[in-house]
């Protein structure tokens, strides 16, 4: 975190990511999105939001269904959803779940 890093509310982060507030809350709880707590308020680092967007490789403000090069898959082990690049989704390709760590074929 730099001294100039802006702190966003969950709503602001959700708007930038193109997802709902509840999704942002889950991402914070699961450690996907770093945050800080100031008294009873949770704030998300703006640089963390942009780093997540860059890691996903999609333009800001687009949901996974709107971003053409992405597909949503569900892990059969834990039931969690993941957004993968279309290039990663090929028959008989191994997928490793980031949550439970299991590997399975798509």
pLDDT per residue as tens digits for the range 27-65: 999 988 999 999 999 999 888 888 887 777 655 555 545
- Give percent above pLDDT 70 in the chain: 59
Please count the other Cβ atoms lying within 10 Å of the Cβ belonging to residue 49.
23
What angle in degrees, to the nearest 10, is found between the helix axes of 10-17 and 46-56?
20
**pTM for this prediction:** 0.52
Which position has the higher pLDDT, 8 or 100? 8
Ordered by start, the domain boundaries in the chain are 7-56, 70-105
Q: Taking a C-beta distance cutoff of 8 angstroms, is the pair 95, 84 a contact?
A: yes
Write the Ramachandran bin of 52: left for phi over 0, alpha for psi from -120 to 50, otherwise beta: alpha
Indicate the pLDDT class of residue 66, thresholds 50, 70 and 90: low
Tell me the average pLDDT across 83-102.
Answer: 66
């Amino acid at each position: 975190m730099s001294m100039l890093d802006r702190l966003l509310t969950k709503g602001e982060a959700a708007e930038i990511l193109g997802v709902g507030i509840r999704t942002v809350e889950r991402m914070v709880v699961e450690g996907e999105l770093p945050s800080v707590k100031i008294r009873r308020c949770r704030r998300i680092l703006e640089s963390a939001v942009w780093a997540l967007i860059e890691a996903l490789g999609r333009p800001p403000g687009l949901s996974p269904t709107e971003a053409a090069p992405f597909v949503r898959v569900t892990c059969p082990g834990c039931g969690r959803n993941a957004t993968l690049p279309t290039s990663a989704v090929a028959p008989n390709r191994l997928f490793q779940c980031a949550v439970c760590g299991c590997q399975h074929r798509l």
